[in-house]
Amino acid sequence: MTSDKPLLEVVDLRVSLNRGVDVVRGVSFNVHAKKVVSIVGESGSGKSMTVRAVMGLPPPLASLSGSIKLNGEELVGASERRLRRLRGSKIGMIFQDPMTALNPVIRVGDLIAEAVRLHNPRMSAKQAMQRAIELLETVAVPQPDVRVRQYSHEFSGGMRQRVMIAMAIANNPDVLIADEPTTALDVTVQAQIIEVLSNLRQMFPVGLVLITHDLGIVAGVADTVVVMYAGKVVETGPVRAIFRGSRHPYTRGLLSCLPSIEQKAGKLVPIPGNPPSLSARPSGCPFRPRCPMARDICSTEEPELRTVDDIETACHFAEELRTFDTSAFQTTAGSA
Amino acid sequence: MASASALSAHAPARSFRLARPALVVGIGILIFWVVVALTVEFWAPYEPLKIVSRKLQPPSFSHWLGTDALGRDVLIRTFYGAQYSLTIAVIVVAASVTIGSVVGALSGFFGGWPDSILMRLVDITLSFPPVLLAMSIAASLGPGVQNTAIAIVVVWWPVYARLMRGQVLDVLSRDHIEAAVAGGASRTRLLLKHILPLSWTPTIISATMDFGQVVLLAASLSFIGLGAKPPTPEWGSMISEGAAHFYSWWIAFGPGLAILSIGLGCNFIGDTLRDMLDPKDE
Amino acid sequence: MLTYIIRRLLAMPFLLLGVASLAFCLSHLTQADPLAALVSERQMNNPEVIAAAKERWGLDKSLPEQFVIYVTNLVSGDLGVSFRTRRPVLTDISERLPATLELVIAAMIVGTSSGILLGIVAARFRDKPIDYLARFFALFGSTIPVFWSGLLLLYILSVQFSLIPGPGRFDPRGQPPPFVTGMYTVDALIAGDFRGFLTALHYLVLPAFVLGWSVTGILARLVRASMLDVLGQDYILAARAKGAGERRTLFRHALPNAMIPTLTIIGYSFAYLITGAVLTESVFAWPGIGSYAVDSARTLDYPAIIGVSLVGASAFLLSNLVTDVTYAFANPRIKLS
């Protein structure tokens, strides 16, 4: 089921830090109910900055432009008061490292109950605690009535991340953003957390934004993929189309260790070279210095997103890439 | 706007530059007092003990900080006071750093029962509130500038002993020391060449900060009546005279300002040094 | 946890013994005849008194034996007799203790509350003018000589503006509240004497501020640094992501974490207060242990000075113990081993 109206619409979002560095340069994507949008990219690609802008929590002194619409309501330029109302009620967020994202001196139950009561001020403390216990049950934390009285340091990494999730879904938000929710966890726990997240969609019509390094997770749960590089979306489309026939050398590079999605996916292999620094971006296509098929035009013109088949791609040679051999990366890597 | 953002583009460099004025001000204050202490005899119009006017005169053009209970010029006496305070502070800090560092370094390096005994001694000394202990010692030794200095050293050296010992133990646990031991370096060589050069930074920072504190403590003892004796133009005893002539506020004003300025100067320098030498910050 | 407290308590007597031996060394350092420390001048010609003193303090015995006697006397509360007041030092001290406690507690309240507040404000408005102002005020507090700031403030506020009564503890024409704790403000409240409470408070305000300022300085710097550290943590962002407002984030989520490292310093700053109290009391003619110590030092009243040092050191050790235990309770993560 695809509802026609997206829950979250991001159009041409731009974020620049006070130092005059543009970290997000025109990002657009939509999130629909019960769907998972996965944002993929290396660190420094601007993906975390994008979701922080969506949460209305950009770093101090950063400036935003473009449009972020939640249920049709514009968030860019909205009052802090209004944003605070929406945060935690209509839009929730899960952080990368559950070790540092839970306040160490507040009991876990109080943390969750706080999330409930901030948006239901008339609810009694007792009711909120009852709700906290239910929420922990939802995310499959055993013995929730005991656990609410404990501190976060008494929880394992996976359990902490479940607490994080319980906190974020306390008010059944329309959109849930998960910023690399499994990166800091043990491999064995990662799948469980993804399952918890994925199952949320059966309980209420939430749209998920999943930021990750792990292409295996993307292949497993995402509906739409957004690939970011140097603050821009370089490719986006349905997950199958991207995995089957990506039209961007960067995405191809990320995928190069995945022969096909049918096989269980592995991790992201490094592409030779480093992403460009924010202050010294190369002219033309930002991926050019690392691209095995860069030509003259790539250094003069930055490619814009355009539709090729089912996919939107920002590469001058999207059409040619149908036959492009990703093994070129391995060769470059070997010679480097 | 453009220039502002260009400036802030180098945030670390900017904070480094911002830290500099404090250092300049701090060093400026200390240099001022050192120069005053060294040269005051040559340019001061009066002797510190000379009675130059009627007593208890408020500040005027001829006597900028007024005159004290005997009619002596307060400003000139304040300048002369730098001689006492700076001398005591230099001697005390130097002696405390030397004794403390040597004891701390040897104690930490060789360990064993001498280490335990020395550190217990340090613990006990540090469990006395400093002014009370210095007071008891100074009183036991009898009043006088010399005894004040001795008393403060007794109170102060354990701070450096503990600091140095901690540093030496920290450096000892690093890998390259093991490498030096494996390379056959002798113990003396190890201590002198490999450990001490890496251990002095916190001591230097601490000593800089403490210089102001020592000036203050010495003045406190004089204020109580245990340091320099009354006719001496010492800051603490001048403030004590000021307290006795409470309505003539100017008697205490100059010397107090002098102590405060040295304290601030040392703090400025110490803070900047810590930012510059301590890699943990930033 | 319990074993930790017990172990710390068991270590206390040994530390106190160390303190006592240092005091013993000091009392033997004195240039005066040790007998002079025990017997008043007038009695010096009375062989009976001298013999009694010699026997009680074992002055005719060897040093180690003297030490044992000295410690035994200490344990039984005998700190000797003051030259100046001709009374047992312990009596003098216990009479003056409430005044000092009142001053130190008041200074602690002033110092910690203003220090924490300044630190929060400075961190919240980092690098803004208000931050620099707060830091400068704090720096002043930790460098200014209390015996000078006390003098000047007393002159300005009392003589120039008549906002504050002169030195002392209570209106000399009035009657201090009946003795319960010995702290005038508390006793006045117990007696239901609100006017008396205000009078006592009026006398207390300035010395408490002057003394507390040093703690303000130390704390403000620390709270600022530790708030800045905490405000950069993920759980602060997580609190905001829940929809918590600025004030809630600052006080409910950031402050308790920032206070954990600060707590130790609050306890240790007690030492600064004891130190400062000695000088503050003598400026404000505050009839506590501090001014007693200063008067004793001025008159070279050795038994009194050493007695005060002993009491001060014990208070200091005890406060450090309390601090460490409180710290252990306040930080749920700490595991004491």
Contact C238 A97 (CB under 8 A): no
Q: Which chains touch C (3 or more CB pairs under 8 A)?
A: A, B
Region B211-219 average pLDDT: 92
Using the Cβ of A335 and the Cβ atoms of chain B, whether some distance falls under 8 Å is answered with no
Chain C residue with CA closest to A103: the answer is C235
Chain A residue with CA closest to B9: the answer is A19
Q: Is C155 within 8 Å of B249 (Cβ atoms)? A: yes
Q: How confident is the model at residue A259 (pLDDT cuts 50, 70, 90)?
A: very low
Contact C244 A97 (CB under 8 A): no
Using the Cβ of C56 and the Cβ atoms of chain A, whether some distance falls under 8 Å is answered with no
Of A57, A96, A105, the CB nearest to C332: A105
Q: Is C208 within 8 Å of C107 (Cβ atoms)? A: yes
For residue C188, what are the CA distances in angstroms to B82, C104, C201, C208?
Answer: 47, 18, 10, 18
What are the boundaries of each domain within chain A?
Answer: 1-90+173-244, 100-171, 246-275+282-332
pLDDT over 90 at C227, yes or no? yes
Class of domain A1-90+173-244: alpha beta
Chain A residue with CA closest to C238: the answer is A101
Q: How confident is the model at residue C33 (pLDDT cuts 50, 70, 90)?
A: low
Q: How confident is the model at residue C4 (pLDDT cuts 50, 70, 90)?
A: confident
Cα separation of the two ends of chain C:
8
For chains B and C, CB pairs below 8 A equal 141
Q: How confident is the model at residue C32 (pLDDT cuts 50, 70, 90)?
A: low
Chain C residue with CA closest to A111: the answer is C239
pLDDT over 90 at C160, yes or no? no
pLDDT over 70 at B11, yes or no? no
Q: How high is the pLDDT of residue A2?
A: 47
- Return d(Cα C55, Cα C57) in angstroms, integer: 6
Provide the pairing of β-strand A306-308 with A91-94. unpaired
Region C260-270 average pLDDT: 80
Q: Is C297 within 8 Å of B226 (Cβ atoms)? A: yes
Cα separation of the two ends of chain B:
26
Contact C18 B123 (CB under 8 A): yes
Find the range with the poorest average confidence among A78-87, C76-85, C222-231: C76-85
Burial class (CB in 10 A: 0-12, 13-18, 19+), C302: buried
Cβ neighbours of A17 in B, within 8 Å: none
Chain B residue with CA closest to A18: the answer is B5
Contact C332 A119 (CB under 8 A): no
Delineate the domains of chain C, giving CATH numbers in brackets: 97-300 (1.10.3720.10)
- Return d(Cα B199, Cα B245) in angstroms, integer: 49
Using the Cβ of A78 and the Cβ atoms of chain C, whether some distance falls under 8 Å is answered with no
Q: How confident is the model at residue B270 (pLDDT cuts 50, 70, 90)?
A: confident
Cα separation of the two ends of chain A:
47
Region C248-272 average pLDDT: 85
Cβ neighbours of C260 in A, within 8 Å: 105
What residue type is assigned to position C81 of the chain? V
Instruction: State the smallest CA–CA distance between residue C25 and chain B in angstroms.
Output: 10
For residue A66, give the H/E element and its range. Answer: strand A63-70
Q: How high is the pLDDT of residue C36?
A: 63
B147: left (phi over 0), alpha (psi -120 to 50) or beta: alpha
Q: How confident is the model at residue C267 (pLDDT cuts 50, 70, 90)?
A: confident
Q: Is B191 within 8 Å of B105 (Cβ atoms)? A: yes
Q: How confident is the model at residue C153 (pLDDT cuts 50, 70, 90)?
A: very high
Closest CA to A168 of A55, A78, A82: A55
pLDDT over 90 at A32, yes or no? yes
For chains A and B, CB pairs below 8 A equal 11
- The ipTM, to two decimals, is 0.83
Find the range with the poorest average confidence among B11-20, B167-176, B262-271, C143-152: B11-20
Interface test with C, best of B30, B120, B132 (most C CBs within 10 A): B132
Region A35-39 average pLDDT: 94
Contact C257 A57 (CB under 8 A): no
Contact C238 A101 (CB under 8 A): yes
Taking only the tens place, the pLDDT of each residue in A91-113 is 999 998 888 899 988 999 999 99
Using the Cβ of B138 and the Cβ atoms of chain C, whether some distance falls under 8 Å is answered with yes
Interface test with A, best of B8, B10, B15 (most A CBs within 10 A): B8
Chain A residue with CA closest to B2: the answer is A20
Contact B132 C278 (CB under 8 A): yes
Where helices occur in C284-301 by DSSP H, the ranges are 289-298
Q: How confident is the model at residue C46 (pLDDT cuts 50, 70, 90)?
A: confident
CA dihedral A236, A240, A245, A247 (to 10 degrees): 0
Burial class (CB in 10 A: 0-12, 13-18, 19+), C202: middle
pLDDT over 50 at C247, yes or no? yes
Length of chain B: 282
Q: Is C287 within 8 Å of C203 (Cβ atoms)? A: no
Helix (H, G, I), strand (E, B) or coil at B198: helix
Region B32-61 average pLDDT: 84
Q: How high is the pLDDT of residue C264?
A: 79
Using the Cβ of A101 and the Cβ atoms of chain C, whether some distance falls under 8 Å is answered with yes
Q: Is C302 within 8 Å of C32 (Cβ atoms)? A: yes
- Return d(Cα A104, Cα A153) in angstroms, integer: 7
Contact A279 B5 (CB under 8 A): no
Q: How confident is the model at residue B182 (pLDDT cuts 50, 70, 90)?
A: confident
Using the Cβ of B154 and the Cβ atoms of chain C, whether some distance falls under 8 Å is answered with no
Q: How confident is the model at residue C71 (pLDDT cuts 50, 70, 90)?
A: confident
Contact A20 B11 (CB under 8 A): no
Cβ neighbours of C148 in B, within 8 Å: 239, 252, 255-256, 259-260
Where helices occur in C30-88 by DSSP H, the ranges are 47-57, 63-75
Q: Is B75 within 8 Å of B64 (Cβ atoms)? A: yes
Region A305-320 average pLDDT: 85
Q: How confident is the model at residue B6 (pLDDT cuts 50, 70, 90)?
A: very low
Is B87 or C39 the better-scoring residue by pLDDT?
Answer: B87
Region A227-235 average pLDDT: 91
- Return d(Cα A42, Cα A251) in angstroms, integer: 11
Chain B residue with CA closest to C274: the answer is B129
pLDDT over 90 at C300, yes or no? no
Q: How confident is the model at residue C34 (pLDDT cuts 50, 70, 90)?
A: low
Q: How confident is the model at residue A261 (pLDDT cuts 50, 70, 90)?
A: very low
What residue type is assigned to position C242 of the chain? K
Delineate the domains of chain B, giving CATH numbers in brackets: 14-277 (1.10.3720.10)
pLDDT over 50 at B227, yes or no? yes
DSSP state of A77: T
Please name the residues between 275 and 294 in chain C that touch chain B, using a CB distance below 8 Å. Answer: 275, 278-279, 282-283, 293-294
Using the Cβ of A172 and the Cβ atoms of chain C, whether some distance falls under 8 Å is answered with no
Contact A18 B8 (CB under 8 A): yes
Chain C residue with CA closest to B133: the answer is C309
DSSP state of C170: S
